[in-house]
Amino acid sequence: MKHSPHDVAGTGLFINRELSWLNFNNRVLDQAEIPATPLLERLKFVAITAGNLDEFFMVRIAGLRKMFRNGEPWCDPAGLNAPAQLHLTREKIDLFLQRQYELLFGRILPELERSDVYIVHPKDLTDAEKLLSSDIFRSEIMPVLTPFAVDPAHPFPQLNSGAIEIALRLLPSDSGKDTFAFVEVPALLERFVELPSPGGMKRFMLLEELIIDNLQWLFAGSEIVECFPFRITRDMDFSTEDENAADLLEYIGQKLQQRRRREPVRLELPPGAAGPLAEWIRSSFALEELFEYPIRGALHLKQFAELAAKVQLPHLAAPPHEPVMPVEFMENASVFTVLRRYGNILVAPPYHDFAPVVRMLEEAAADPDVLAIKQTLYRVSGNSPVVRALQRAARNGKQVTVVLELKARFDEENNIAWAQALDECGAHVVYGIAGLKIHAKALLIVRREDGFLRRYCHLGTGNYNDRTALTYTDIGMMSSDPALCSDIANMFNVLTGCSAPGNHYRKAVLAPFTLRSRLEQLIEREIEHVRAGGKGEIIAKMNSFSDEKMVRFIHRAADEGVQITLIVRGICCLCPQENQSKNLRIISIVDRFLEHSRIFYFRNQGSPEYYLSSADWMTRNLDRRIELMFPVEQEELTEQLRRILQFHINDSDKGRVLLSSGEYTPFNALEKYTGARSQESIAAWFRNRTAAALDGSAGTPLKIRKFQEERKHHG
């Protein structure tokens, strides 16, 4: 929808999406400033914010820059056009970078030094240490480096987006003319080179500084007149959603090959960079001044996560987190046996172990009674046990169908490799759908039991990724519910065949077909309850909230008197109004784990309904993606969701409330936490629940106690 500035500006109903995201990244950076956060965790948060900002430039700034250069008059719902957004984001990014570098180099690294962990520079080394570092360079680093001269015989190279490059101006001995050159700092080498140190001291040197200190070995016969490191970020915002390519696999592969040649959108240089080399760099990329950033310190702070991993000092790190097994899987029984007994089971990593989901697939791959497996994959790990189980299933003669989304941004290459590997094993691989991203998380297994076919499914809010299951909070439901499994079978028919979406789903709700209208119906129902003199209440937990229609709808519901609590981790484009303070509360929680689950609660006149979903309330999720929302109906399961939501609502340690000013309440900078930290509370609640199941105490859910009693009775 297009707007002119005057039809929405000044209403105060909306917050600009890009500014909201930058506020979110600042809330992540807050975690690096809190004294109660372990020091190495603070270092990791700095690295996370740097990685987040890189993606922001590659996608969001790239898109705004295109609109700016094309002179597009489009304004966002907050009334800001592209030039206004670019200038406002630049102001926020400048302030953010200043704070980020002050935190890292002014506080975190000096605190590391108090624990005998140092980043040293070539000028700090003794003569003997200089010789040693030179030996390290020649034996372990120099063989990997490739210098690129730029002259009539050597064209300007295609520099990689995000890589640290060293630019040089040389004066060859056989020529009186300046020559320019590059050396790329290889991403495959460790960024932090550990130097031999006495006692328990740990000393590291940045790889680029070690290379710069030894460049003469690469350019023998030339005088190095000047050199410095720099970095470019390229536009990675290529759209594949509207393409109708006949061969999507080949099309995405071609797009990936073009990435190295896409235009830069950011140039990071040392502050005050001047002289012939700096001017040559600027002229080579021809970026407007708005997109040039002076960096007062090391480049590519995302890689400082490597330093946090290398230090390995337990007293500076967060205590290890141990996931627990869902209580329903404490018995040594087949996943299918357990599901027949319980019907539905929630698995909530990282509080729960991800193992039951992997085990479900592994059992299906080996079970002679399993006939078919169907699964959607969006992002998986590099050595995925999920994909390995699917490969085994295909080799074992199962009918394996994998809907693998090739258009998952920044995971395209990984997904292409997995698609080809699965195809080679005999699986049927569907490479997404032209025009739509498949973001739904679903696994369906068809099994022959007692002469009949029975279906089992797993549906979730997050990816089938064993690695992110350790750090992202997600919730999935394993089910043997015939109605729900039938809906998922119909969904796969839509994804893999020519089946029309239809309206014959009994429980599942799919975007872009019915999810928006169903959410509107659920919200409208709460409004009607208030109008009839009752109480309306909505609690919605999601990652981002930016869809204009939904923002307006929630504003209306709050104005009508519906009690609304939104738990939105990141982008929130809804600006609460002062007159809504009694009815509308918006909370953001940033903590050790990335909040990723989507949970929706509707009071429904005392007959509450709970839903889980793969979709945020964003236009892309509701209108341009295959997304899934499904109900959670069993009392034991809704009680778990109720407690999770309540822990988040009561979080006074990590919870931040969005104000009518568009800013969030200040973060808790106490030296220690108060005990109202939702992630710790949820983890403790699940641990206690598992412990209760182990000792058979009264706190164990009734069905589980009956299961235990039956097991004891039958020996």
The residues annotated with a catalytic role in the active site are 439
Beta strands at 563-568 and 584-589: parallel, antiparallel or unpaired:
parallel
Return the structure tokens found at 178. 């300046």
Q: Provide the residue type at 321 as one letter.
A: H
CA–CA distance, 638 with 39 (Å, rounded to integer): 37
CA–CA distance, 56 with 50 (Å, rounded to integer): 10
Return the structure tokens found at 699. 């706190």
Residue 243 neighbours by CB distance under 10 Å = 14
100 Cβ partners below 8 Å, 6+ apart? 29, 46, 49, 50, 301
Tell me which DSSP letter residue 103 carries.
H
- Nearest CA to 183 out of 139, 117, 229, 241 is that of 229
Structural contact between residues 292 and 274, judged by C-beta atoms closer than 8 angstroms: no
- Nearest CA to 667 out of 36, 40, 18 is that of 36
Angle of CA points 461, 347, 689, to nearest 5°: 135
Q: Please classify residue 105 by burial: count the beta carbons closer than 10 Å to its beta carbon, then call 0-12 exposed, 13-18 middle and 19+ buried.
A: middle
69 Cβ partners below 8 Å, 6+ apart? none
Q: Which residues of 54-71 are buried (b: 16+ CB within 10 A; e: fewer)?
A: bebbbbbbbbbbebbeee
Return the structure tokens found at 317. 């790190």
CA–CA distance, 648 with 655 (Å, rounded to integer): 7
Structural contact between residues 488 and 508, judged by C-beta atoms closer than 8 angstroms: yes
Beta strands at 472-473 and 594-595: parallel, antiparallel or unpaired:
parallel
Q: Provide the residue type at 106 as one letter.
A: G
Beta strands at 509-511 and 563-568: parallel, antiparallel or unpaired:
unpaired
- In degrees and rounded to multiples of 5, residue 38 shows phi and psi of -55, 145
What is the distance, to the nearest Å, from the Cα of residue 256 to the centroid of all Cα atoms in its chain? 20
- Nearest CA to 53 out of 82, 4, 18 is that of 18
Per the DSSP assignment, residues forming a β-bridge with 157 are none
Return the structure tokens found at 520. 């509107």
Q: How much of the chain is helix, strand and coil, in % rounded to 5?
A: 40, 20, 35
- Nearest CA to 119 out of 271, 297, 293, 296 is that of 297
CA–CA distance, 712 with 696 (Å, rounded to integer): 11
Structural contact between residues 598 and 543, judged by C-beta atoms closer than 8 angstroms: yes
Q: Which residues of 681-697 are buried (b: 16+ CB within 10 A; e: fewer)?
A: bbbeebeebbebbeeee
How far is the CA of 385 from the CAs of 357, 362, 394, 466, 467, in angstroms?
10, 9, 14, 7, 10
